[in-house]
Structure 1
Amino acid sequence: MCTSWQLRCRHRKSGNLAWGGSLVYSESCNWDKRRGTVDQRTRGAGHGENVGLLGRGSECAVLDEVIEAVRMGESRVLVVHGAPGVGKSALLEYAENSATGMRVLRAAGVESEMELAFATLHQLCAPLLGRLENLPVPQRDALETVFGMRAGAPPERFLVGLAVLSLLSDASEGRPLLCVVDDAQWMDRSSAQVLGFVARRLLAESVALVFGSRQRAQDLLGLPELEVTGLSDADAHALLDSVTHARLDQHIRDRIIAETKGNPLALLELPRGLTMTQMAGGFGLLNADTLPGRIEQSFLDRIEDLPEQTRLLLLIAAAEPVGNPDLVRRAAERLGAIPETALAGGTDGLLTIEARVTFRHPLVRSAVYGSAREKDRRAVHLALAEATDARTDPDRRAWHLASAAPGPDEAVAAELERSAGRAQARGGLAAAAAFLQRSVALTIDTSHRAERALSAADASLRAGDLDAARKLVDIADRDAQGEFQRVRAHLVRSHITFAAGYNNEAPPMLLTAAQRLEPFDMDLARETYLVAWASASYGAANRDSLMAISRAMRELPSPEGSPRALDLVLEAYALLITDGRSAALPTLRRALIALTGAPLQDLLKWGWAAGGLTALLWEDRIMAEWPVRVIDEVRAAAALSELPIYLHALGLPIVLSGDFAAAAAIVAQSEAVAAATGVPMTQHTKLLLTALQGKDAEASALIAATIEEAGAGGQLNGVASAHWAAAVLYNGLARYEQALPAAQATTQSANLLVSQWALPELVEAAARVGDDTAAHGALEDLADSAEPCDTDWAQGVLARCRALLSDDAAAADDFYREAIERLGRTLLRPELARAHLLYGEWLRRDRQRVEARAHLRTAYEMFVSIGMEAFAERACRELLATGETVRKRKNAGSTSEELTPQEQQIALLVRDGLSNPEVAARLFVSPRTVEWHLRKIFAKLKISSRRQLGDALSRGEYESMTQ
């Protein structure tokens, strides 16, 4: 394999023959580690000039497979990780040299650029920017905005990811593409999230994405990986021999190999600076620190031997993150250093200045910068700031000015604040938070510091840095100059508590914030009241907290003019708790009508907290319809971080309607958007779907995991939903003794909606186990909820439950018939099928076998066609008990079982007339991936064209997914 052959390329280094990682480099080179692309010369695959890999046969084989797969039209992703100096960069270079005939893009994370949004992504994509015109307009605009090529509103992070996916896919049309990202542990967070998104969606694009990282980066977890460890003892001995000229005692050699763990860079650097005597006796190793420390110390020893001007040039290069030789030169001249003079004696191989300034290893940069005096670092940053163009690169200039400041500096703080605004406009919330945090530290005036601390705390909160947000809100509270600033600080602190999952603490904090906001900003106060109510009513607090919030909402002054949707929702929710459902019903209905026509900007702020109106009113049709409009507008506005919320709002009614194929597709889409945007996905739709499907093992595992994870995080809403799903699952499996406690746990939760939906499950389970007290208590609660709402859903479910508990046979019969009639007018096929099942079971026990068979057969056929396996089995057993012979049927939608959820989504969208690019944009994949899936779909459905999808997919089983 790769242990014996020679890989060649020209690589310039100072000094004689040296080993880098596990590569041997020759004297000359016209390639550098941080160049955006690699010049692809004519050469044989895997072969260049004068460079050999040692002891990396298995690693090379993995990279060979990656390259070969991409040549064959597939995509591959690989995260190469290992300790500093272990040879990751050498392996990445091997991959590049093996990629003959392919286009190679290269980028590297830079530690000092980690706060600059999309810095690494820009490195990678810069050679492809001429292809932006090939992208859909929203994607093109998103990339141009984050790269500073145009002004615009902050694009959604996921839209940027989709644009990069499309860009790479487009670039790979002509020839395969290899993208290499080294030092991935130092990528800025925005780039890491986008590239992680892209990596998870590559499939059929002829693109390889290979990362080199010291550790498993958070945003790259779950991707295929290759761990690089130290060389074998034999190879390590060979490498050590190549760089030591004195004969070493065998025991000393063994100790060096053991302590370095075969790390190639450590073996290269440890002998430097030690005399032959020290090496031979091993005494030079006595004061060695950790492995990175030993390597860094060897670099420091080499740095100290360099002339003063050369050390200054190294420090400038270490403080300048871009590797721009012109910028380094200008800064050096400002400090009186002449680059030609500084380089005249060489840099001992530590620094190379060509098309870009590069260090021998990242540890060289950290050694240079860390060992410099503070005043020297400040002087260098000031020179770099002065040498940086304030028009073309104002943010890096501001960052250098901040690093140069010896103490608080209002002018620099103001410049950082302006940079934060630009960073956020490019979609980099984490970058905006970093600039604002530094701005706070440099602010002199306390009133300015309080305002900046509030902005920094809010940005840190939205970027997910809760610890930093807490510290900043403490500063804002301490320095606040008036009540409004203190109130806003309290509001941010409340949102931090809510985001952290301390749910029992959040509602009262939000209530206090809303009350204190009233004199200053009534609109913000009203929005805060609604969030407080939702956080309490969705299971985050007890009923006393919900009552306190509702009473405070009742005391709000009447709005001027006609009430808006927000005003009506607040009034309706407050009345529901303080006066009961009957009193609140008219206002609930008015609020629901207003909600369906509310402006999108309002819905994006508080719509998630108002969506429960449809459930409270038992309005199945509006529940299915109103999210569609919001989803369309969310997509049109590219406000896609809100999309998982509304996909969930759409997913639940689709599950309740019995369209499991469409529901599974929505779950898959929600998971994709949640992964792309970083917005956690609620599991309600998936929980209910798997429970109704009756998949015992799968549903039980999901329920248990949700209860454990949500419970640990204080997310009682998730716990309640999991118990509800368990009650549905166990009722379907006829394990009523397990369904009963699950239903009771749900109905006792503070979540108004889930507890309401669990009442029919509690009635059925309690009736079957003979717990009359629990059954009748649940029926009374259900009547309180459903009776005032004159909808077929409410009255149908209530009639079904009354029939279950009725002692009068004639009344029970009437209730069952009413339930079937009313539920037959709804969209809720599972509820209707369950009414037939319960009626058939009752008729069989009443010895009316002929009529029982009719209803049980109807129930069985409905359950089978929907895909409710457990309930179908229950209906089957009842049919057999009537003496009927039952021929087991496949799900009428069995074709859907042959398609994966991804294929189902694509088939539905293509059937409804969307083009491949439109489907790709909707499902966050590339058009080539859509085409690849379509070929598989056609084969599975035994069709040959898009036009045939309409016949192949039964509309009874596949509802339109274009919403």
Structure 2
Amino acid sequence: MLLGRRREQDELDRLLRDVHHGHGRVLVLRGEDGSGKTALLDYLCGRAPLGRVVRTVAAEPEAGIAYAGLQHLCAPLLRYLDQVPEPSRTVLASVFGLSTSGGTGDVGPAVALLLAVAAAAEPLVCVVDDVHWLDGPSGVALAFVAGQLSAGRVALVMAGRGPMSIWAACPEMAITGLTTGHARELLDSTLVGPVDAGVRDRVVAESRGNPRALLQWSRGASSVESSFGATVVPVPDLTSCLRAIGAALHAGRLGGDGLRRAAAITRDLRLDPDTPAGSLLAGVAHWVLDGYPAAAPALRHAVRTADPDDPMLLWLAVPATHAIWDDENWFRLADRDGAPLSLRGGALLLAGRFTEAAELSGDVPWPALTAYRGRTRALLSMTATARRDGDLHRAGRLHGVAGFAEAVLFNGLGDHVAALRAARQAAEYDDFGLGNWALSELVEAAALAGRPEVAAAARDRLAERTGPAGTDWALGTQALADALAGPADDAEERYREAITRLPVHRLGVLVARARLLYGRWLRRRGRHRDAEIELRAAHAVFTRIGAEGFAGRAARELRH
């Protein structure tokens, strides 16, 4: 029973009746955190025996992953894909990671066709909770769908908070606080003992009728600050714990001490360390509270046992592979059909498969791909937008992504002063999984910009992580950092070790970059014949895969 929600329930019942009679409906439930939007969606789904329901919850960590929301929402409908006419079928196969042969230019109409096919036999109710975290491309596609539902047997119901301009044209139902009477009734129904009437009235007044706040107080639970400064329910179970950790990681440098709070709560839960989820969360908690060496064993176990078909874990397991330099499990989880597009695209990129990565990204290119291609204007536009979005949504990780991408761009172009500035900004906060990448760029930028003390400090920070990791990726990365910023007498040996250790079949781009740096080092010592071998090899790789910035840099070295 939902107290005080008769009006809202009646509207949802009308929506179901309309869809049953062939009148498609769109509705946005808008209200603050804890106002009861999810409970109303539960009511809707429970009252829909007339058809099927597909439901997803948009997650903050996936807000920057193109089409992640659509993938989750439409996964139960993929059995209808063969009934969708071309070219829409190819578009959907590409968006859902089932094929690399199609573009993504007409995703909205393609999704509308899929929903229509799925609803041909009986009505279909599509539900998206926390729609304010829906990734942009999924939002654009669903906004198109929303405009096409007036005729048909499909309902699209979304719930979220705050301003959401993309849904401004959609019918909206405001979810406000409970009346004083209903708030008092809800509180009384959950209390297990007598409470002073004055205290009860104060709680009701201060809650402003927010059901979550009332339930939280009645349980006597301590709250944790979310990355947005709002009070949320404590983390009582595995799913909530994953969401809390994910939100705090995404908030990053703009989240205050939210990550430490979430990590401390995670540790207190004493999750089973033998399960992938338990070891993953334990590893992140160690990483936050105790440092990298303490985190490595748990993270290593987590990524080795993670199920690549478990979307709840994948978004955290893949960055964990970066944190512990585990390229084998990174590619096991990400380089496969059905993996989220941006996770798969990162693996393709480092393997030098730029064409496949570009096909997956479609009309929404990834910053790292744009950076490696040397597209300065496009990349700087993307990073400016990322930083604005990061500030608007308190998503500090976007600042780290922007700084890292700019460092790659400028290192590729040979503007190492600009690369140093970008890499320092990226590395000033240790974003989970991203910090290692930023430090590697910082070592190169600082060493070649004439700042050996900055390069040495970044190299030392890397060494604290690469040693405990012990993989060829980690040790090859450290060898390259030592060659750039360590003792000069050891440089050649360390360059050679880096080229030998880095896995060329999975991290071919990094191998080519190491050969470029080694060739540069050889040329400056007058060993022109040896330098030419390394530089030509690097130039050939960069040219073949389309890394235009680095190809140009290698060509300039060859001309000298």
Q: TM-score, normalised by structure 2?
A: 0.66
State the partner residue of 1:879: 558
- Measure, in 2, the Cα distance between the counterparts of 1:220 and 1:526: 30
Structure of higher RCO (CA pairs closer than 8 Å, 6+ residues apart): 2
Q: CA deviation at 1:427?
A: 5.8
How many residue pairs match? The answer is 441
* Distance (whole Å) between structure 1 residues aligned to residue 271 and residue 159 of structure 2: 37
The structural deviation recorded for 1:657 is 1.5
Query: What's 2:15 paired with?
Result: 116
Whole-Å separation in 2 of the counterparts to 1:427 and 1:449? 32
Closer, same or farther: CA 587–449 of 1 in aligned 2, 3 Å: closer
- CA–CA separation in structure 1 for the residues paired with 2:279 and 2:506: 27
Secondary structure of the 2:421 match is helix
Matches within 5 A, 1:159-238: 159=74, 197-198=108-109
In the alignment, structure 1 residue 742 sits paired with structure 2 residue 422: yes
Contact 2:368–2:405 under 8 Å retained in 1: yes
Whole-angstrom CA distance in 1 between matches of 2:416 and 2:108: 43
Amino acid aligned to 1:576: W
- Residue number in structure 2 paired with 1:581: 292
Give distance in 1, aligned partners of 2:282 and 2:84. Answer: 51
CA distance in 1, matches of 2:296, 2:84: 54
Q: 1:621 to 1:199 in 2, by over 3 A?
A: closer
SS at match of 2:469: coil
Q: 1:783 aligns with which of 463, 478, 482?
A: 463
1:154 maps onto 2:54 in alignment: yes
> Hey, what's the Cα distance between the residues in 1 that align with 2:487 and 2:348?
35
Q: Is the 8 A contact 1:569 1:588 kept in 2?
A: yes
Deviations 1:349-396 (A, max 9, x none): xxxxxxxxxxxxxxxxxxxxxxxxxxxxxxxxxxxxxxxxxxxxxxxx
Which residues in structure 2 correspond to 1:640-659 (within 5 Å)? Answer: 646-659=340-353
Structure 2 partner of 1:679 = none
Matches within 5 A, 1:308-327: none
2:249 matches 1:534: yes
Contact 2:187/2:215 (8 A) holds in 1 = no
Output aligned runs, 1:84-123, within 5 Å.
116=15, 119=18, 123=22
Residues 455-496 of structure 1, C-alpha deviations (whole Å, 9 max, x = no match): xxxxxxxxxxxxxxxx997413598367456759x68xx6xx
Give the structure 1 partner of residue 392 of structure 2.
Answer: 712
Q: CA deviation at 1:198?
A: 2.1
Matches within 5 A, 1:798-947: 798-809=478-489, 811-825=490-504, 827-881=506-560
Aligned to 2:121: none
Structure 1 Cα separation of the partners of residues 384 and 405 of structure 2 = 11
Is residue 697 from structure 1 mapped to residue 431 from structure 2 by the alignment?
A: no
Mapping for residues 442-457 of structure 1, pairs under 5 Å: 444=182, 446-448=184-186
How far is the alpha carbon of 1:528 from its aligned partner? Answer: 5.5
| Partner deviation per Cα, 1:126-175 (whole Å, 9 max, x = no partner) | 9xxxxxxxxxxxxxxxxxx99968444435676499999998959x9xxx
Give yes or no for the alignment of 1:550 onto 2:263. Answer: yes
Listed one character per residue, the Cα deviations across residues 235-280 of structure 1 (whole Å, up to 9, x for unaligned) are: xxxxxxxxxxxxxxxxxxxxxxxxxxxxxxxxxxxxxxxxxxxxxx
CA-to-aligned-CA distance 1:272-295 (integer Å, 9 cap, x gap): xxxxxxxxxxxxxxxxxxxxxxxx
Aligned counterparts of 2:81 and 2:24: Cα–Cα separation in 1 = 11
Taking the TM superposition and a 5 Å limit, the aligned residue runs for 1:272-421 are: none
Conserved 8 A contact 1:840-1:856: yes
Q: 1:724 to 1:472 in 2, by over 3 A?
A: farther
SS in 2 for 1:847: coil
Which of 183, 196, 214 pairs up with 1:480? 214
C-alpha deviation, 1:756, in angstroms: 1.7
Distance in structure 2 (CA, Å) of the matches to 1:473 and 1:167: 50
CA distance in 2, matches of 1:473, 1:626: 43
Shift of residue 647 of structure 1?
A: 2.3
Is 1:664 the counterpart of 2:358 in the alignment?
yes
Of 781, 795, 800 in structure 1, the residue corresponding to residue 475 of structure 2 is 795
CA distance in 2 between partners of 1:546 and 1:833 (Å): 36
CA contact (8 A) 1:449 1:479 kept: no
Secondary structure in 2 aligned to 1:618? coil
Q: Give the 3 Å change call, closer, same or farther, for CA 476–739 of structure 1 in structure 2.
A: same
Q: Distance in 2 between matches of 1:449 and 1:548?
A: 27
Equivalences for residues 562-573 of structure 1 within 5 A: 563-573=274-284
CA deviation vs aligned residue, 1:576-610 (integer Å, no higher than 9, x gap): 2333222322222112223237x83xx43x54334
Q: Which has the larger radius of gyration?
A: 1
CA distance in 1, matches of 2:142, 2:283: 45
Distance 1:426 1:125 in 2: 6
Task: Find the counterpart in structure 2 of residue 755 from structure 1.
Answer: 435
- Checking the alignment, whether the CA contact within 8 Å between 2:520 and 2:557 is kept in structure 1 is yes
SS of the aligned residue for 1:428 comes to: strand
Gaps of 5+ in 2: 1-10, 26-44, 57-69, 89-105, 114-138, 145-149, 161-170, 191-204
Asked whether the equivalents of residues 447 and 481 of structure 1 are also in contact (C-alpha less than 8 Å), the reply is no
Cα distance change, pair 686–478 in 1 and its aligned pair in 2 (3 A) = closer
Q: Secondary structure at the match of 1:770?
A: coil
Distance 1:147 1:121 in 2: 12
TM-fit CA distance, 1:622: 1.1
Percent sequence identity over aligned pairs: 26
Find 2:329's aligned residue among 598, 622, 644. 622
Distance 1:450 1:653 in 2: 54
Partner of 1:592: 303
**Cα 1:730/1:146, change in 2 over 3 Å:** farther
Contact 2:177 2:209 in 1 (8 A): no
Distance 2:210 2:420 in 1: 50
Tell me the secondary structure at the aligned position of residue 387 of structure 2: helix
Query: In structure 2, what is the equivalent of residue 885 of structure 1?
Result: none
- CA separation in 1, counterparts of 2:216 and 2:384? 48
Report deviation, 1:820: 0.7
Q: Which deviations, in whole Å up to 9, do the C-alpha atoms of 1:411-433 show, x marking residues without a partner? A: xxxxxxxxxxxx9x9663459x9
The answer to whether the Cα contact below 8 Å between 2:292 and 2:464 also exists between their aligned partners in 1 is yes
Distance 1:118 1:702 in 2: 44
Q: Distance in 1 between matches of 2:214 and 2:409?
A: 53
Per the TM alignment, residue 701 of structure 1 is displaced from its structure 2 partner at its CA by 2.2
CA contact (8 A) 1:733 1:874 kept: yes
Instruction: Return closer, same or farther for 1:152/1:473 CA change in 2, 3 Å cut-off.
Output: farther
| Deviation readout 1:746-787 (Å, 9 max, x if unpaired) | 000241322220112111111112112211111111111212
1:162–1:198 Cα contact (<8 Å) kept: no
Superposed displacement of residue 852, structure 1: 0.6
Distance 1:118 1:732, change over 3 A: farther
Verify the 8 A CA contact 1:647 1:666 in the aligned structure 2.
yes
- Structure 2: how far apart are the matches of 1:880 and 1:731? 19
Residue number in structure 1 paired with 2:157? 428
CA offsets, 1:554-591, max 9 Å, x none?
Answer: 4x25447x742222122212222333222322222112
